[in-house]
Amino acid sequence: MTKEILAHPWFGTWVAALIAVPLALLAHRIGGLVLRRITRPAPTIHTMVVNCNAAARLVLPLVALNVVWQGAPDDLRFIGNVRHFTGLLLIASSTWLAVKAISGFADGVLAQNPSDVSDNLQARRVLTQTRVLARTAATVVLVAGGAMMLMTFPGARQVGASLLASAGVIGIVAGLAAKPVFSNLIAGLQIALAQPIRIDDVLVVEGEWGRVEEITGTFVVIKIWDERRLILPLTYFIEKPFQNWTRHSAQLLGAVFIYADYGMPLAPLREEVERIVKAAPEWDGRFFNLRVTDATERTMQIRVLCTAATSGLAFDLRCSVREGLIDFMQREYPQFLPKMRIESDGPQEREQPRQMAAAPGVA
């Protein structure tokens, strides 16, 4: 039995494989420890190395096996099929490793730019670019990996080659952009580079006020103020107009409109506005004022402007100012609240039509 095993054509190849795989795992173990220690001062690279650990544990043994199979005699039975199968596994695992590297690098970049701070404009810019570009790069890697796997089959080699190179890079981009699904991929690149929107931006879109909760490879999720979610394709933000309240800064100028009778004195109102705004914790200390901005036949329109650090604080500040002014006028100047005047005619005017109506009868 032993002689039969030793005489088997695959014996030497099996022994080489049994030696190569443990050596590859040992190299992965030692190399992983060394890389983690070396990259510790660089958090972004360190996160990428840690994220690639599982995929590398599969790639290295497959590389070792592929070397063994390539060194085996070409006339060995089934060696062609084994080489092909191992090659497919190696391409798939390498694609997985590349995707994990992209994901780990993105996680490292995001960890260095936390968005849970008060002034998070730069962090949100990095967050949006990193996520969109990482998803795009991962998609490209997956397409390339699938094309390379197809190219290993003689019958599908032409298909894989056409996906990867035959039409040229420009032809591929143009062909992908022509498809509705892949047009969102191009829109995602535009959003990542030009950044008309970012994660946590405050938008007014389709008549709804909300924040950008998520940007995927095909759509954007808007979290509306009442907890609903508005789902829009990426191409919407390239082709249609919308409001972005946090494009360059989260600071906002809020407006409050009050209507009062013409008899309302403005000086007490200005003093009350100053008291309310300065006492409000939402006010950021930049600016406030009161102006009469319009006058109708019945009332005058009074506008109060006040600033806040974010749109949410601006909304709360506007509510506080509005409530405070209404309460002040109800207490101090209720006679000057908006009213509808109805003036009746005097006694003489009321009697004169009766006399005129009775005159023909007297005659």
Render pLDDT for 287-312 as a digit per residue (tens, 0 to 9).
999 999 999 888 999 999 999 988 88
Q: Could you give the residue ranges of the DSSP H alpha helices within 8-152?
A: 11-38, 43-51, 53-71, 79-111, 121-151
Beta-sheet strands, E only, within 225-329? 229-233, 243-244, 252-260, 283-295, 300-308
Separation CA 213–CA 225 (nearest Å) = 12
> CA-CA distance, 187 to 238, in Å (whole number)?
7
Q: Per-residue pLDDT for 350 more than 90?
A: no
Choice among 176-185, 197-206, 221-230, 244-253 with the minimum mean pLDDT: 176-185
Residue the block writes with tokens 């759509």: 219
Return d(Cα 181, Cα 190) in angstroms, integer: 15
What string of DSSP letters covers 157-170? HHHHHIIIIITHHH
Q: Residues near 333 by Cβ (< 8 Å), separated by ≥ 6?
A: 264, 265, 268
- At a CB cut-off of 8 Å and minimum separation 6, what does 105 contact? 44, 45, 47, 48, 134
pLDDT confidence of residue 6: 59
Predicted confidence band of residue 163 (pLDDT cuts 50, 70, 90): low
Element containing residue 275 per DSSP (H, E): helix 266-279
Task: Give 198's pLDDT tier (boundaries 50, 70, 90).
Answer: confident
Contact between 200 and 210 (Cβ < 8 Å) = no
**Model pTM score:** 0.55
- pLDDT tier at 181 (50, 70, 90 boundaries)? low
Give residue-wise pLDDT tens across range 145-162: 888 887 777 765 555 555
pLDDT at 21 over 80: yes
Q: Compute CA distances 206 → 184, 222, 224, 239, 242, whole Å.
A: 19, 11, 11, 13, 8
Q: What is the pLDDT of residue 164?
A: 53
CB 201 within 8 A of CB 244: yes
Residue 96 in tokens: 């997985």
Q: What is the mean pLDDT of residues 319-335?
A: 93
